[in-house]
Amino acid sequence: MAGHACFATGYVLFLAAHWATAVAVGVGVMLLGAVSYTLGEILGGPITTTIAAESAPDALRGRYLSLNQLAVSAAGAVAPAVLSGLLSAGGAV
């Protein structure tokens, strides 16, 4: 739960940085968001792998872990392109 709370806080801070009136404040808020998001990854990453491993039947454990890693890798590959598209579309989107 703490990892998801850190993710949510990071997302809220990223959103709040858009409305910062001073550039320095916006950068500071973005950095705080990045720290919060990273803490969420540190807290949540090992747990999601453990859940994938423990929820699988013994014969399918490798497939479950492979699918879990595939989802993480696909998100890491697709996210930059999607976020770049959103940023180029403007803050309203």
Q: Alpha-carbon torsion 17, 19, 22, 25, what sign? A: negative
pLDDT at 91: 65
User: What b/e string do you get for 44-80 counting C-beta neighbours within 10 Å, with b at 16 or more?
Assistant: beeeeeeebeeebeeeeeeebeeebeeeeeeeeeeee
* pLDDT one-digit tens code per residue, 9-42: 998 998 888 888 888 888 899 999 999 999 998 9
pLDDT at 31: 93
Distance CA 90, CA 68 (A): 32
Is the pTM of the predicted complex or chain greater than 0.85? no
Distance CA 27, CA 35 (A): 12
Residue % of the chain over a pLDDT of 70:
97
* pLDDT one-digit tens code per residue, 34-54: 999 999 989 988 888 888 888
